[in-house]
Structure 1
Amino acid sequence: MLRLRGPKCHERNYGFTRSRAWWTNPGKIKLSNQSITFKNTKTGKVEHISASDIDHCDWVRLADSPALKCLLKSGPMYRFGGFKDSDFDRLSAYLKKNWNMELKNVEPCLTGTNQATANFIGSVLEFENEGQLLFDIPLANVNNCSSAKNEVIMEFNQNDECAVSLMEMRLYISSDPNTEEDPAEEFKRKIAEKAGFLKESGKELAVLEQVLCATPRGRYDIKIYPTMLALHGKTFDYKIPISSILRLFLLPHQDGRRMFFVGHTAITIRYKTQHRNISHCENDEQNRK
């Protein structure tokens, strides 16, 4: 068993970057013959990754320090950061002996180029230049993608706990005279397929028409599905995973007659403004029930 443990917070801590959320959490990582176990020291949550589910592991750079990057056979990617350069030999030997897996040292491309070849590896989008990795994007972080002419625009999930957060990325996709397909549209389709954007499929459980919402402001037709809420407005549409709704509140209005129905989400609902709550004012007792 290999334990890699960070000491006090003002010293070196081993962190864990989840592909779905893309923020670093302090914690402790433990490798055994069968799995990787990570315990978040902030929340106490424990993550288990079976060694048999891992396709391959790479030694990469994450910010200013090395990291262990694990790509699962099912597509998701995990990154454990905060290592030292001296940990490579020890970790490489352990994976070779116990998992029969080579730990590849992936050197980043530092040429400063703005051109790259895009590769879809599982649910990860990697950009390479002359065989060297520029950067990668876990596509579970992408919540929307659109195309316009030769440009593809990706919008990302937001985390309010991060001081700096990537909100949008625009990529120029060069045209190919030898094909009739639109390269930008095809690239967008692949991103949507790998990212698993929320789609309205199946029969809705309930439909609420022309609901007046305080946030996001406007009237929306709300369709409730087993796994998501779909809000359709005159200008904007929103799709919210049920799993992202953390709390529901009934709050009294200051007039004493009406009530606010509020849903607090774990994700930021963003268009012209950012929201973490869905608010609706209701004055009918039967509707509230």
Structure 2
Amino acid sequence: MSTVTFENIFHGDSAQVGKLRFNAAGFGWKAYESEENNPTTYSGHDVRHATWFRVARNFQLRLTMRQAEKPRITFDGFKRDDLDKLKRTLDEYFNIKLETRDASLKGWNWGKAQVSGNDIVFQVQGKTSFDIPLSLVGNSNIAGKNEVALEFNPPTPTVHDPKDLGKRPPDELVEMRFYVPGKSMKSKGSDAGSDGEETELDEDGNEISAADAFHNLIKEKADIGAVVGDSIVVFEDILVLTPRGRFSLEFYPDSLRLLGKSTDYRVPFTSIHRIFLLPKLDDIHVQLVLGLDPPIRQGATRYPFLVAQWPKDEEVDADEEIAKYPDLQRKYEAPTFQVISRVLKSLTGKKVTPPGSFRNAQGLNGIKANVKAVQGELYFLEKGLIFIAKQPILIDFSKTESISFSRVGGGIASARTFDMRVVSKTDAADHVFSAISKEEVTPISTFLQSKNVRLKNEMEEAVMDIDGPLSDDDEEMESIASEDEERGKKDKGKKVAKKAVDDDEDESEDEDFQGSSSDGGSPSESDSDDDDSGMASDASDPYMEELKRKTAAKRAKNKEASGSGSEEEKPKKKKAKKEE
């Protein structure tokens, strides 16, 4: 059997070069670097249409196939001189006429977008600028009044080398937006009696915008909504915290669809890699957290986690097509979160992770914490941490270098709370959880030590340093005592001045009064009376009792020091007199 071979040809988006060979039965491609592997072959009877197109890698042969799972096959790298040879080969072997299509090279970003067959074609002045297979469109949303946002499924490139199995391409097209102004127009019917166009109306008689018409056409033609098949089970009016809104959860055999008023997300089960079922700290609600890779997108915002919430006592009846799956019952009458988690576990094949054995001071599964200015709930799992907020954070213990406790700042607030810093082995930035209640130190330390996580408590140096300088409380007590002592002296001086004016006694008596008040630094009778009366008024206050005790101890210490000093001075004076 005669064959025709073309060298240095790329298959699809592959970066490997190979050879393409045609014969009367079909055609096949094999990479140069993997000669031991079998070639990728196709039957010639499955080819419906062939197009010659100018692309970045020279020229492309685009073959439209009859199979729905492979609607289009492309080969790049042809030279301009290969056109005549390729025309003869396709006509002789498969009776297919090769069509040549001109590409627009103007670089304009405005033109005409339309759905042609299985592709979205964007044309500039009648020439194709680019086209996108509808099979790659994962979702379509109306973003704004006249914008249509298309989200694309992660590509699944053809892997010809076993070493590349599981690897994703470095660059991906994840979203594209079309600005479609104006109203949707349709051709007038023959009964109108004249040619031209008229505004398209919906069932209620309202005008349809061109953006809505384009959006509806893509949803109808692409792999979105009802086209993917009948839903297995639907849960209505579910509160989703991230991304926020109320959605209907529609389960399909290979995907989960979130249908809202203005947004529509389709999540393939292959992108769900973690499932968590966590009770909230209010002991009323339960949260379901889905870890997504790749994340869903809304404009420039990425959502790597999907968080839904239900009341604990909310029940649901589910009795639709779930009986097809062996590990699901035909009918459920149970709390909503239990039914949805069981359906997810069965359809995705992923394990549902419950909260760990950690219990806080109140006996709950998590604690309240802040990340910067965002307040959330921190849960300690058996193999990591998860912080539930607007943008959840997941940390694995296997990727954690150490965890440290510290008190930042001063004052009463820092004495009641502490910060927990998680140092990662892989990430450059650390995760800091602040405003954690001080009573949670012991439960957290006990749990993390059981998981062999390195801990460092930086609070002990500041809290347990008793033998060092006075603490803040002691310094405050001492300053208050000195202030009270000064205030007592001022009051005593005022009373002495008043007594000197009012009394008519002689000057010697005044001198005796003054001398007795300053003799040896010992307190006078009036001082004792004033101090005792001042303390008596606050005798019932524990704080003032402590202050009184410390002040008395200090004065006793000073009196003892002054007494010992006077005893030392007297012998010195006597000795000096004897020497004279």
**TM-score, normalising length: structure 1:** 0.68
Residue 16 of structure 2 corresponds to 26
Q: Separation in 1 of the partners of 2:140 and 2:173?
A: 17
Which of 51, 58, 68 aligns to 1:58? It is 51
Which 5+ residue runs of structure 1 have no aligned equivalent? 7-13, 18-22, 252-260
Shift of 1:223: 5.8
Counterpart in 1 of 2:468? none
Residue matched to 1:273? 302
3-state secondary structure, aligned to 2:95: coil
Q: 1:189 aligns with which of 216, 219, 223?
A: 216
Please give the alpha-carbon distance, in whole angstroms, between the structure 1 residues aligned to 2:98 and 2:234.
Answer: 50
Aligned to 1:256: none
> Structure 1, residues 63-106: CA drift from partner, whole Å, max 9, x if none?
24111111234672222112222222221221121122222222
Q: Could you say which residue in structure 1 is the equivalent of 2:140?
A: 145
Shift of 1:227: 2.7
AA at the equivalent of 1:169: R
Instruction: Give the conservation status (yes or no) of the 8 Å contact 1:211–1:280.
Output: no
Cα deviation digits, residues 128-172 of structure 1 (max 9, x gap): 334322211111111111234333222223455233635323232
Q: Tell me which of 161, 168, 181 is aligned to 2:169.
A: 161
Structure (1 or 2) with the greater helix fraction:
2
Q: Amino acid of the residue matched to residue 192 of structure 1?
A: K
Over 3 Å counting, the alpha-carbon distance change for 1:217 and 1:35 in structure 2 is: farther
> Residue 165 and residue 24 in structure 1: after superposition, are their counterparts in 2 closer, same or farther (change >3 A)?
farther
The partner residue of 1:172 within 171, 175, 180 is: 180
**Mapped partners of 2:129, 2:84: distance in 1:** 24
The letter for the 1-side match of 2:175 is: M
Residue number in structure 2 paired with 1:227: 254
Between the aligned partners of 2:31 and 2:50, the Cα distance in structure 1 is 21
Question: Following the alignment from structure 1 to structure 2, what is the Cα–Cα distance between the partners of residues 116 and 149?
Answer: 19
Counterpart in the other structure of 1:105: 100
8 Å Cα contact 2:274/2:351 also seen in 1: no
Point out which structure has higher relative CO (alpha carbons under 8 A, 6+ apart): 1
Q: Among 41, 61, 72, which residue is 1:77 paired with?
A: 72
Aligned-partner Cα distance in 1 for 2:38–2:101: 30
Contact 2:62/2:75 (CA < 8 Å) preserved in 1? yes
Please identify which structure carries the higher strand content.
Answer: 1
Is the contact between residue 249 and residue 258 of structure 2 (CA under 8 Å) also seen in structure 1? yes
- How far 1:194 moved relative to its partner? 1.6
Distance 2:257 2:273 in 1: 17
Give, as a single letter, the amino acid of the residue that structure 2 aligns with 1:172: V
Distance 1:236 1:179, change over 3 A: closer
Identity in percent: 25
Q: Determine the C-alpha separation between the residues in 1 that align with 2:32 and 2:275.
A: 33
Gaps of 5+ in 2: 156-167, 186-196, 202-207, 277-288, 307-349, 358-580
Return closer, same or farther for 1:222/1:105 CA change in 2, 3 Å cut-off: closer
Of 109, 112, 118, the match for 2:113: 118
Q: Distance in 2 between matches of 1:178 and 1:206?
A: 39
Q: Distance in 2 between matches of 1:194 and 1:30?
A: 33
Q: Are 1:67 and 1:81, in contact at CA under 8 Å, matched by a contact in 2? A: yes
Aligned residues of 1:95 and 1:102 also touching (Cα < 8 A): yes
CA spacing shift, 1:172–1:217, aligned 2, 3 Å? closer
**Counterparts in 2 of 1:42 and 1:116: CA distance versus 1, 3 Å:** farther
Kindly indicate whether the alpha-carbon contact (under 8 Å) linking 1:70 and 1:77 is maintained by their aligned counterparts in 2: yes
Q: Partners of 1:5 and 1:263 in 2: how far apart?
A: 44
Aligned equivalents of 2:28, 2:239: Cα separation in 1: 45
CA change 1:97–1:195 in 2 (3 A) is same
Please say if residues 138 and 266 of structure 2, whose CA atoms lie closer than 8 Å, have aligned partners that are also in contact: no
Amino acid of the residue matched to residue 167 of structure 1?
E
Change (3 A) 1:119 1:36: farther
- State the alpha-carbon separation in 1 of the partners of residues 274 and 23 from structure 2: 43
Deviates more, 1:26-35 or 1:40-49: 40-49
Deviation at 1:124, TM superposition (A): 0.7
TM-score (norm 2): 0.37
- Contact 1:157/1:268 (CA < 8 Å) preserved in 2? no
State the secondary structure of the residue aligned to 2:132: strand
Q: CA deviation at 1:179?
A: 1.1
CA contact 2:255–2:268 (8 Å) conserved in 1: yes
The answer as to whether partners of 1:146 and 1:188 remain within 8 angstroms in 2 is yes
Range moving further from structure 2, 59-68 or 269-278: 269-278
Aligned match of 2:354: 282
Tell me what 1:4 maps to.
6
2:232 is aligned to 204
Of structures 1 and 2, the larger Rg is shown by 2
Deviations 1:17-45 (A, max 9, x none): 2xxxxx44535333332333345678968
Choose from 3, 26, 36 the match for 2:27. 36
- Label 1:15 to 1:269 Cα distance change in 2 as closer, same or farther (>3 A): farther
